[in-house]
């Protein structure tokens, strides 16, 4: 890179650089099934998968693989010959083009903001030696063949502390794509992964532009740019609009996937709306008929559903439909917009969806993934943002082992959440979703990761966990921890809580499963779980509703499969059946899998009802899984993260077939719970109750 500190943008030929790069690809690690009882066995599963990667070992092998991967990224970014051009400060190559004028800018806020007649760009990088802003101007070419205007920031004028910033006048108020090239120390052994051949996504981008349609052909480049929209009027929430503000003790949570809810043809929606935010709106009457009053949405942050298709591998037939591969923590998933509408439409339609759910009295809880990102591990590096901006700040590293990324997430990297900069990123992200999208709460994926320090050691009073609990903007929100991680930090009943954090009660799940399938000696344990798990939560000022009771979640068997399979059947995942949990506490009622035996089918139906009754009469906050109300099956697959098919998609035809039986029973039990205050009391039941 040319030296900074000048008023000229360095000449860079993106297309030429890409053409010289070798045709190598890199892959993210899979997301293995997580079960609190597994502990370090998950790491063993991950290592088994990583064995496919091959390649040279040791320090130099890692560096060579990293170099190959970043060259691959440069090739992907070149796309269809996007070209860079020189821009002089305050001048353009054509008199007909709007001039761009640059000034020093300001350090805050991070991201893009309107200021002094221009747009201010600000990004943090503690260890960078140079930063170049890249602007893709669609009006000067088509979406796929637009100029990329680049200019280097002057470290004397465009840098305050560790924040690089610049103000640009003359830019449109919407439609511009932007990113950064960042360079710095090249020492792998110091933990750096800088590479200025790659255009990086701004961590504070409020909108992200990438592919238009979910799961498009795998040859489509996976290039993601930040973008913005200062043209649109503020969203109209309506004069009569009110937040539901439901007491935690009243919640009945329905865990669901936005896309999978209406993606199937049986939804009856037109193709352009299936699998979208608008599609979910159309099905709100179903949620009301069922009786749930909160939806917990699998990740809706921008993620890369094609991560398995970066290079030939046993999983390249799959599409990441669950969404646990976060690219950016502020932008809604753009490919959940209807008709390929893009990031601006996605933002508006998500707000429409939240508004419609709130008007129906249903709260919206987001499943958020702050424990890792899409950028994989050091064996198979993939660079889109954080790795190239400041690897040592954003990720936990093993400084004694050629600083490799620590992996407490099972997905190759672990976000350094209690570093002051990363902590503030997470808090800013949460506040953004509450203020901009009116979100009611958050379920934190692998939340025990958020309880670790920069070296991975557990913290007694994690700063991030405390600040989330004490933050004024988040004070009205439900905050729910998945209180374990893939490094064996199991905190069910012991999660640092400041009397606010609720927890997914994995102990409840396991004990209820074992009792109802007939394991001996569990009467007392069953009674403890049904009466609120006081052994876990009757501490300090914690309440029964801090136990989120569930028997089924997205990760594992569906309710139908829990009573239909003794063993997992995950061969279609391409991992030779090694993925997914082996300890399911399931019983097939005498026959493995599908059967026409009426006696077995009746027994299975009765068992599913037994599970649902137990869930609805238990003190605590009940959560059920989308599709269990009609008996959805994944045919024994207990780790279906990669199937954008009927395996995950809600089957509306089956719902109609079972409306008068299975569904009606489930709905009546939920309504029974709503009508009995004793089940929703905010104090634990006593033996005399």
What amino acid positions are annotated as catalytic residues?
445, 482
- DSSP 8-state class, residue 660: I
- Cβ neighbours, 10 Å, residue 424: 14
Q: Kindly give, in sequence order, each residue whose CB lies less than 8 Å from that of residue 32, ignoring residues fewer than 6 positions away.
A: 42, 45, 46, 49, 410, 486, 579, 580, 639
Residue with tokens 């279906």: 640
CB 672 within 8 A of CB 659: no
CB 479 within 8 A of CB 402: no
DSSP bridge partners of 478: 441
Instruction: At 306, give phi and psi (nearest 5°).
Output: -100, 20
In the structure encoding, which two tokens stand for residue 364, read together?
Answer: 């919206």
CB 438 within 8 A of CB 398: no
Among 373, 461, 366, 470, smallest CA distance to 422 is for 373
Helix (H) or strand (E) holding 389: helix 386-394
- DSSP 8-state class, residue 48: H
CB 42 within 8 A of CB 448: no
What angle (nearest 5°) sits at the alpha carbon of residue 183, between those of residues 6 and 14?
A: 80
- Cβ neighbours, 10 Å, residue 539: 13
| Rounded Cα distance, 462 and 55, in Å | 38
In the structure encoding, which two tokens stand for residue 147, read together?
Answer: 């100029």
CB 557 within 8 A of CB 645: no
| Rounded Cα distance, 127 and 643, in Å | 40
- Cβ neighbours, 10 Å, residue 61: 12
Q: Tell me the DSSP string of 414-449.
A: -B-TTSHHHHHHHHHHHHHHHHHH---EEEETTGGG
What separation in angstroms does the CA of 625 have from each of 162, 229, 615, 646?
Answer: 44, 35, 12, 16
Q: What is the CA radius of gyration of the chain?
A: 25
CB 488 within 8 A of CB 474: no
The DSSP bridge pattern shows strands 363-368 and 397-398 to be unpaired
Give 240's Cβ-side CA count (13 Å radius).
4
What angle (nearest 5°) sits at the alpha carbon of residue 565, between those of residues 563 and 571?
A: 145
CB 380 within 8 A of CB 425: no
Go through the chain and tell me how many residues it has.
Answer: 689
The alpha carbon of 5 is separated from its chain's Cα centroid by a whole number of angstroms, namely 38
Among 266, 175, 272, smallest CA distance to 214 is for 272
Q: Kindly give, in sequence order, each residue whose CB lies less than 8 Å from that of residue 677, ignoring residues fewer than 6 positions away.
A: none
- DSSP helix/strand/coil, 45: helix
CB 478 within 8 A of CB 364: no
């Amino acid at each position: 890179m040319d030296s900074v500190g000048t008023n000229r943008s360095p000449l860079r030929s993106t297309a030429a650089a890409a053409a010289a790069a070798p045709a190598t690809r890199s892959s993210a690690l899979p997301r293995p099934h997580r079960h609190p009882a597994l502990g370090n066995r998950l790491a063993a599963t991950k290592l088994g998968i990583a064995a496919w990667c091959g390649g040279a070992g040791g320090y130099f092998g890692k560096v060579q693989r990293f170099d190959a991967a970043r060259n691959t990224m440069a090739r992907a970014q070149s796309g269809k010959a996007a070209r860079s051009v020189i821009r002089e400060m305050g001048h353009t190559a054509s008199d007909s083009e709007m001039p761009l004028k640059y000034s020093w800018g300001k350090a805050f806020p991070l991201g893009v903001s309107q200021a002094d007649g221009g747009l201010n760009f600000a990004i943090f990088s503690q260890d960078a030696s140079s930063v170049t802003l890249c602007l893709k101007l669609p009006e000067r070419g088509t979406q796929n063949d637009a100029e990329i205007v680049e200019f280097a920031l002057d470290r004397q004028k465009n840098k305050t502390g560790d924040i690089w910033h610049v103000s640009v006048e003359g830019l449109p108020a919407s439609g511009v794509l932007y990113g950064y090239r960042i360079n710095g120390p090249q020492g792998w052994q110091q933990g750096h992964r800088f590479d200025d051949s790659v255009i990086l996504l701004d961590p504070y981008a409020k909108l992200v532009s990438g592919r238009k349609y979910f799961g498009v052909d795998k040859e489509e480049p996976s290039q993601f740019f930040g973008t913005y929209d200062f043209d649109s009027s503020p969203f109209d929430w309506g004069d009569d609009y009110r937040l539901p503000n439901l007491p935690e003790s009243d919640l009945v949570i329905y865990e669901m996937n936005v896309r999978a809810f209406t993606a199937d043809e049986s939804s009856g929606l037109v193709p352009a709306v299936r699998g979208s935010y608008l599609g979910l709106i159309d099905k709100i009457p179903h949620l009301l008929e069922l009786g749930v009053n909160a939806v917990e949405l699998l990740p809706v942050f921008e993620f890369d559903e094609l991560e398995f298709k970066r290079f030939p591998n046993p999983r390249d037939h799959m599409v990441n439909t669950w969404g646990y591969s976060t690219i950016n923590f502020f932008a809604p998933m753009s490919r959940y917009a209807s008709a390929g509408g893009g990031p601006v439409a996605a933002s508006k339609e998500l707000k429409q969806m939240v508004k419609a759910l709130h008007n129906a009295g249903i709260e919206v809880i987001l499943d958020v993934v702050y424990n890792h990102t899409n950028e994989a591990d050091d064996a198979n590096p993939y660079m889109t943002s954080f790795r190239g901006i400041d690897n040592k700040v954003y990720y936990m590293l093993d400084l004694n082992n050629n600083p490799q990324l620590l992996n407490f997430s099972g997905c190759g990297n672990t976000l350094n959440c209690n570093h002051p900069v990363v902590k503030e990123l997470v808090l800013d992200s949460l506040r953004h979703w509450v203020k901009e999208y009116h979100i009611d709460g958050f379920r934190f994926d692998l939340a025990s990761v958020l309880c670790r320090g920069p070296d991975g050691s557990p913290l007694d009073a994690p700063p991030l966990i405390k600040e989330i609990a004490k933050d004024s903007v988040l004070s009205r929100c439900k905050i729910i921890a998945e209180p374990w991680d893939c490094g064996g930090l199991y905190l069910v009943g012991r999660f640092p809580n400041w009397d606010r954090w609720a927890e997914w009660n994995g102990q409840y799940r396991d004990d209820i499963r074992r009792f109802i399938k007939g394991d001996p000696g569990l009467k007392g344990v069953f009674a403890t779980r049904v009466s609120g798990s006081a052994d876990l939560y009757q501490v300090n000022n914690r309440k029964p509703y801090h136990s989120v009771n569930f028997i089924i979640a997205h990760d594992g068997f569906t309710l139908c499969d829990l009573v239909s399979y003794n063993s997992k059947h995950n061969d279609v995942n391409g991992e030779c059946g090694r993925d997914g949990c082996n300890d399911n506490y399931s019983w097939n009622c005498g026959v493995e899998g599908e059967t026409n035996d009426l006696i077995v089918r009746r027994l299975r139906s009765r068992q599913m009802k037994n599970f649902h009754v137990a869930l609805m009469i238990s003190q605590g906050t009940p959560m059920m899984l989308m599709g269990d109300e009609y008996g959805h099956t994944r045919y024994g697959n207990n780790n279906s993260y990669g199937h954008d098919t009927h395996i995950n998609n809600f089957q509306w035809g089956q719902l109609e077939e079972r409306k008068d039986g299975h569904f009606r029973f489930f709905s009546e039990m939920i309504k029974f719970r709503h009508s009995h205050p004793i089940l929703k009391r905010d104090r634990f039941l006593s033996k005399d109750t």
